[in-house]
Amino acid sequence: MDRRFIPDLNPRAFGPDTQTGGWASNSAIEAPGLYEPRKARRIDMGGLFPPRDTVMSALPRLSPCRPALVERMARMESCILVVKDREVRLSNGCNKISRFERPSDCQSIPENSPPLLQKTILLRQEAQQRTTSRVTLCEPIEMSNEAPGARDLTAKQRRKQRDLYFQLQLLCRGNSKIDMADHQEAITRLTEENNALKKRVAELEALLDLKKEDDSSRAIVPDSSSVDTLNNAEISRYGRQLIMPEIGMQGQKKIKKSSVLIIGAGGLGSPVSLYLAGAGIGRIGILDFDTVEASNLHRQVIHKESSVGIPKAISAGRAIREFNSLVKVEEHVTAFTTDNALGLVSRYDIIVDATDNVATRYLINDACVLSNKPLVSAAALRMDGQVTVYHHNGGPCYRCLYPSPPPAETVTDCSNGGVLGVVPGIVGCIQALEVIKIAAGTGESMSQKLLLFDGMSPRYTMVKLRPRNKECAVCGDSPSVTGLIDYKSFCGSSYDDKPCTRSILDASLSVSCEDYVAHLKGGEEFVLLDVREPVQYDICSLPQSKNVSLHDMKRDPAIITDMISDKDKKVFCLCRRGNDSQSAVKFMKELGYTNVFNISGGLSSWSKDIDPNFPVY
């Protein structure tokens, strides 16, 4: 709408005629500046425009096209839109949005009202009926009535008023319904893409930092020609351990010349990395293929919330550089496999095993023996921990103590058994101490010894281990393993500690979560048996489920037979990830139950496929 066609109207020129109930004009009041758009005023008579003949009587100089303009203004006045659960309308004559409480509160048609007034009210009511959309366009444009010229409109405000008007008209006429739920899939997809891009940017920035060292770091970190000396910055930083007779100047020089590869930047690798960097190890390698997750932060203290989603090796490397710029850090964002193990181990003086799976332990041990490198190994689970040193000063290696790997189903890791965050912190600190003693050539190492830590007591126990096995397959006098082998097949497990679903049942004995939901709606009687430990069952559970742990079931089969006397009754077994439930189905089959099934994927699949709000731990 062209603002030039809106005249300068004085509200005092109009008023309701109390005798006739209509509208009257005060012809004695002039309307100066009739065609000055910058001085336009709003006619606010109960939110409605006066009748057409009243406007015409006050504006004798209007051209014949003016009545049509008044009707257009009345139509514009009647446009209504729901914005943030309140009714608003666009008023002509000023750039302001007035509010109504509810559509029902709008003015009804009074008796004996002029025709144009009736038409305006009808237009408003019709617009209310057509407007079914709920949409937020913008915040209302409020203009103060107190400041002089507050109702004057700039060109930008007029454009905004016009644009808003046309949006209102389109919504009213089209009777369109905007439903944000229709766009939820696109929003989710874009969010995932955004997170992936953020992760990739973080990786590229970290790699760029590795290739482009800071000038100040280069000035501080000694090169190969100065590894035999300590500069003033190093003497000042490590002064408290330099004055120890056990370390001294010579021990610190040895520490500075040493290089350590830490395999695993998790619960054990975090304290080891920080304390080795604090002690002044000259070169530290961090190897980990995994990315930081929120569930890692309670024990992997080297990472931050801002590191979630980026590689652990990159996150740990950044933390070490911020902690001690005198130390050189090398990140290896890769898995430790038979393809790269020997090449990586040969580049460092001491190897730290901070992993959490059997296959990698055998691989690290064999690589260290074949490369003749000492291995500082540790483990932490629940409230217990242990530390030892393999293949050092004539001591045994890992294979000397464990020639054959245990069955995969008997091995419990932190993901399944849990761990208190401080336990790997304590054990990792002892690991770091052993590395420092080996690097400095001081003290007595834990070679041929095993330190056991019991956090519940608390108690430390030192156990003497068997000496090196002369018939060991790797470090014996006549070794049969002279190269790295396929440790996945050897151990029956992978190189990572990620949770995996085993398959020990026939496919016909397993159903998906969707199949269980369909059966649930069918109405047939059944028993849902949750075979997790009670401590996990207390975290979350499905409705109508009964809890009998797999351990208790095998310890006392009468628990099951008393609970489910009918061995032909349909039973669904459920656990956290679908592994223990398979064992439960197999055990119940041995007890004579004929109609028992496993729910594949367990509660993890339930949260992923059925109920995204179901807790995941």
- Identify the three-state secondary structure at position 465: coil
> How far, in Å, CA of 579 to CA of 575, rounded?
7
Q: Are 120 and 74 in contact (CB under 8 A)?
A: yes
Is residue 575 annotated as part of the catalytic site, yes or no?
Answer: yes
Is residue 573 annotated as part of the catalytic site, yes or no?
Answer: no
Let me know if 186 is exposed, middle or buried by CB neighbors in 10 A (0-12, 13-18, 19+): exposed
Question: Is 545 marked within a binding site?
Answer: no
Question: Is 513 marked within a binding site?
Answer: no
Q: Which residue in 272, 273, 314, 309 sits closest to 294, CA to CA?
A: 309
Question: Is 94 marked within a binding site?
Answer: no
Question: Is 580 marked within a binding site?
Answer: no
Q: Which two tokens stand for residue 134?
A: 């709920």
Q: Calculate the CA 18 to chain-centre distance.
A: 68
> How far, in Å, CA of 236 to CA of 230, rounded?
10
H or E element, residue 384: strand 384-390
Place of tokens 């914005």: 83
Q: Are 330 and 286 in contact (CB under 8 A)?
A: yes
Question: Phi, psi (5° rounding) for residue 67?
Answer: -55, -40
Catalytic residue among 368, 414, 513, 573: 414
Question: Is 254 marked within a binding site?
Answer: no
Let me know if 128 is exposed, middle or buried by CB neighbors in 10 A (0-12, 13-18, 19+): buried
Question: Is 138 marked within a binding site?
Answer: no
- Identify the three-state secondary structure at position 258: coil
Q: Are 23 and 54 in contact (CB under 8 A)?
A: yes
Question: Is 532 marked within a binding site?
Answer: no
> How far, in Å, CA of 488 to CA of 362, rounded?
10
Question: Is 299 marked within a binding site?
Answer: yes
Question: Is 297 marked within a binding site?
Answer: yes
Question: Is 172 marked within a binding site?
Answer: no
> How far, in Å, CA of 588 to CA of 560, rounded?
8
Q: Binding site for Zn(2+): which residues?
A: 397, 400, 472, 475
Q: Binding site for ATP: which residues?
A: 267, 288, 295-299, 312, 356-357
Q: Binding site: which residues?
A: 267, 288, 295-299, 312, 356-357, 397, 400, 472, 475
Which residues are the active-site residues? 414, 575
